[in-house]
């Protein structure tokens, strides 16, 4: 019943080797070492895991945080749903992965697992991808629960489900969850999401902003792709991402940009509909549906594009925006929560404001980027912006947060009361 927020099943989600103990700028903020979590037992609850077909940014975030906690000595169980053909359990990257039930039953089976293992857990990270796992009801009172919310899902429920089910989801998200987690620290990924939690859900708990990281930039072998210009859509092919609007750019800008080609990198249930739409518009020869690409191939397409375009109507952050920026590729996106945080309008991309058309803003962006000096300026800004977001920093902040939530006898670490006003996030004063 729940929807995953975040980025993309566009390319391989294969991860680099697990990090060792963090060092360098990601190991410490304000010069303080990360607290050790030896002996701390953590359960991370998430609707999906990164190797599943519809996995996105929420799954990447939860997995990267889990890896970092393991690197600091914690024992981590990652509890999630099970897709057909997957094994119930495996150990990967030092994480005990437990898959149970389908996308509905997982919300019954995970709380049961927590109930049976409640005496063995110190911390639960409960990812609320629309619907929470209700962990405070089944764990011990002394077990720390951190609620992780990427964005408010109310409109997303109505985009995917029949009215009665959408209303049920909205009721749980807006009425039940704020009360259930009112005394539990909440983590979200952007200032927009924090504001939405406060204003739209009347969220009562303290909220910590801990942004997404970004994959380290990898060398891209020169591999020209068709298009002058070439624009890319990177992400899952699901309804609320509105990839059909990006596909339509090939037709909308045919008069002014006849050489424009659209490259769609990703997979999802909308793939066939996008192919049909391109054919209907008569631009099938200029729309390239690449599907799921291995990481080097995905990076080659992304790095060769002039512009990344996303038409999503709601995001918690926009992981693909930073992924593109790492290659010096700016993004055009709608001025909506999350994306207005990850895109710095006029600096690392352009936002489509109310009353503006996506095609007009893309045309303006292409025109600006046709100036080599301006393009070099934007590319530098993109790379510098992307460099501010690393999974090491995300993990370091979460490590401190976990340590601060532990009861005094749970760990011998001296860094038990860190200042959470960190470089990558700031504690909500309320």
Give CA–CA dist 242/232, Å, rounded. Answer: 14
Whole-model pTM: value is 0.79
> Given this chain, do its domains 24-213+390-405 and 230-387 carry the same CATH topology?
yes
**Whether CATH 3.40.50.2300 fits 24-213+390-405:** no
- Is 298 a residue whose pLDDT tops 70? yes
The 3-state DSSP class for residue 166 equals helix
Question: Is residue 165 very low, low, confident or very high in pLDDT (cuts 50, 70, 90)?
Answer: confident
- How confident is the prediction for the chain on average, in pLDDT? 85
Confidence at residue 174, expressed as pLDDT on a 0 to 100 scale? 87
Return the structure tokens found at 420. Answer: 């959470």
Give CA–CA dist 20/70, Å, rounded. Answer: 9
- Is 25 a residue whose pLDDT tops 90? no
Confidence at residue 19, expressed as pLDDT on a 0 to 100 scale? 37
pLDDT in tens, 168-199: 888 888 899 999 999 999 999 989 889 999 99
Confidence at residue 250, expressed as pLDDT on a 0 to 100 scale? 97
Phi, psi of 199 (to 5 degrees): -85, -40
The domain segmentation of the chain, as residue ranges, is: 24-213+390-405, 230-387
Q: Which CATH class is domain 230-387?
A: alpha beta
CA distances from 107 to 116, 145, 265, 341 (A): 15, 17, 31, 31
Dihedral (C-alpha) 269, 274, 276, 277: value to the nearest 10 degrees? 140
pLDDT in tens, 372-388: 999 999 999 999 999 99
Q: What angle do CA 182, 185, 191 make, to 5 degrees?
A: 100
Confidence at residue 160, expressed as pLDDT on a 0 to 100 scale? 66
> How many other β-carbons are positioned within 10 Å of the β-carbon of residue 202?
11
Dihedral (C-alpha) 397, 419, 201, 183: value to the nearest 10 degrees? 110
pLDDT in tens, 38-71: 999 999 999 999 988 778 788 999 999 999 999 9
- The pLDDT > 70 percentage for the chain reads 83
Confidence at residue 156, expressed as pLDDT on a 0 to 100 scale? 66
Q: For residue 136, give the nearest of 105, 160, 158, 115 by alpha carbon.
A: 115
Return the structure tokens found at 141. Answer: 């009172």
């Amino acid at each position: 019943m729940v929807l995953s927020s975040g980025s993309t099943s566009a390319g391989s989600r294969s991860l680099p080797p697990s990090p060792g103990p963090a060092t360098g700028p990601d190991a410490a903020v304000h010069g303080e070492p990360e607290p050790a979590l030896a002996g701390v037992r953590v359960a991370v609850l998430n609707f999906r895991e990164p190797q599943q077909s519809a996995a996105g940014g929420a799954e990447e975030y939860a997995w990267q945080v889990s890896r970092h906690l393991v690197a600091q000595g914690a024992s981590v169980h990652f509890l999630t749903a099970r897709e057909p053909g997957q094994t119930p359990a495996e150990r990967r990257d030092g994480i005990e992965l437990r898959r149970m039930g389908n996308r509905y039953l997982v919300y019954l089976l995970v709380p049961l697992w927590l109930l049976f293992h409640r005496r063995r857990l110190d911390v639960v990270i409960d990812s609320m991808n629309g619907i929470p796992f209700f962990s405070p009801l089944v764990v011990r009172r002394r077990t720390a629960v951190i609620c992780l919310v990427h964005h408010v899902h109310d409109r997303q429920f109505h985009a995917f489900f029949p009215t009665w089910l959408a209303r049920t989801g909205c009721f749980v998200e807006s009425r039940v969850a704020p009360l259930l987690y009112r005394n539990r620290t909440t983590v979200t990924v952007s200032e927009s999401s924090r504001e939405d939690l406060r204003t739209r859900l009347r969220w009562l708990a303290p909220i910590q902003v801990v942004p997404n990281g970004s994959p380290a930039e990898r060398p891209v072998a020169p591999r020209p792709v068709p298009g002058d210009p070439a624009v890319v859509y990177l992400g899952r092919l699901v309804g609320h991402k509105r990839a059909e609007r990006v596909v339509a750019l090939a037709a909308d800008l045919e008069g002014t940009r006849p050489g424009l080609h659209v490259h769609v990198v990703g997979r999802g249930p909308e793939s066939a509909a996008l192919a049909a739409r391109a054919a209907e518009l008569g631009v099938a020869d200029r729309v390239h549906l690449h599907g799921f690409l291995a990481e080097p191939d995905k990076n080659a397409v992304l790095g060769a594009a002039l512009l990344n375009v996303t038409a999503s109507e709601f995001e918690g952050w926009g992981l693909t925006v930073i992924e593109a920026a790492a290659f010096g590729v700016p993004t055009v996106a709608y001025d909506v929560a999350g994306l207005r945080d990850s895109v710095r309008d006029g600096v690392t991309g352009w936002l489509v404001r109310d009353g503006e058309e996506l095609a007009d803003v893309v045309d303006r962006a292409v025109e600006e980027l046709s100036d080599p000096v301006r393009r070099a300026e934007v590319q530098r800004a993109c790379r510098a912006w992307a460099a501010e977001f690393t999974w090491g920093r995300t993990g370091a902040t979460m490590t401190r947060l976990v340590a601060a939530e532990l009861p005094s006898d749970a760990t011998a670490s001296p860094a038990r009361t860190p200042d959470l006003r960190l470089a990558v996030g700031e504690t909500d004063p309320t």
